[in-house]
Amino acid sequence: MKEIVIAQPLGVSKETLDTLLAPLTGRGYHLTLWDSLPENQEDLGNRISKADLVVIANYPLKKEALDKASSLKYLCVAFTGVDHVDIDTCREKGIAVSNCAGYSTESVAELAIGMMLSLYRKLAEGKDAATHGKTGAGLRGIEIKDRTVGIIGTGAIGYRTANLAKAFGAKVIGYNRSHSHDDITYTNLNTLLQTSDIVSIHLPLTIDTKHFIDKDKLSLMKKDAILINTARGGIIDNEALAEALKKGEIAGAGIDVFDMEPPLPEDYPLLSAPHTVLTPHVGFDTEEAMERRAAIVADNLKSFVEGKQKNIIC
């Protein structure tokens, strides 16, 4: 009997997954669902050691675990980014890989806008003032309307964020390798950084985008500008960002992703930086997104079994 292993929780009920995957279990596939995260790569390797088809989300999958998966033919990454997966080893072993692009477009874009609003309207400071019997003195906010929002990366999530920003009355400019949307005014990166009031990052993490926003790029931003990152943590040099915030070189930052998965160590640079909104990688995590993701996972698995792989990474 062929094995499907969902090696970490997917945020939906067992009943939902059983229903979605019934076409495969009805064809003789045995389904194993894990309701906890792996403890380490050895544990993950043991979970997938006999699997033909595997599903993971954002838990790292390295060579150590893949070496134990001698029967593995297909890996479905229930996530948009795949930089946490050893894709080179998958290629070497002939393991086909798909992702689940599209499930979190709305959820991530809405969080990006939420971070803009939180920083501009000083929501954290407002809660502190209300909690401690203070007034609204010093809490005057800023409106998104008529501000320039610079979108770095105008793929699905970046484009959705751009449209939400437009709904608030913002002027939107973009930077992208291809100028794929006629309703966005594209410019070069330096100009975007120099002229935007809000910079929102929506790039994948690759060799080329590692520390794409570094000390030099941060120095181009206006002192009253804010930076939002709901994409991948390694795109920003977070030590340089923390330093820029402490020196008042930019006005604030909303960060959902870091160069490691939370929990963050107590001495992580951004934790002591002022004027931040920090969340522990929750942009993708809404009830609706989890339902969409589960449906894409099931469709990916069924399509692969039928010889029609979708959302191809390799």
Known catalytic residues are: 232, 261, 281
- What does the DSSP assignment read for 246-314? HTTSSSEEEES--SSPSSPPTT-GGGG-SSEEE-SS-TT--HHHHHHHHHHHHHHHHHHHTT---SB--
**How many C-beta atoms surround the C-beta of residue 257 within 10 A?**
26
- Cα 33 from Cα 149, distance rounded (Å): 42
At 267 the three-state DSSP class reads coil
Rounded to 10 deg, the angle between the 287-305 and 105-120 helix axes is 150
Beta bridge partners of 213: 236
Other Cβ atoms closer than 10 A to 136: 12
H-helix or E-strand spanning residue 253: strand 252-255
Nearest partner of 230 among 128, 109, 125, 137, judged by Cα: 109
| Start-to-end CA span in the chain (Å) | 25
- Is residue 55 within 8 Å of 33, Cβ to Cβ? no
Provide the token pair at 4.
Answer: 């499907």
Q: Cβ(237)–Cβ(208) under 8 Å?
A: no
Buried/exposed code over 279-301 (b: 16+ C-beta within 10 A; e: otherwise): bebebbbbeebbebbbebbbbbb
| Angle at CA of residue 95, ends 54 and 308, nearest 5° | 80
Tell the residue number behind the tokens 């050893």, with chain if given.
86
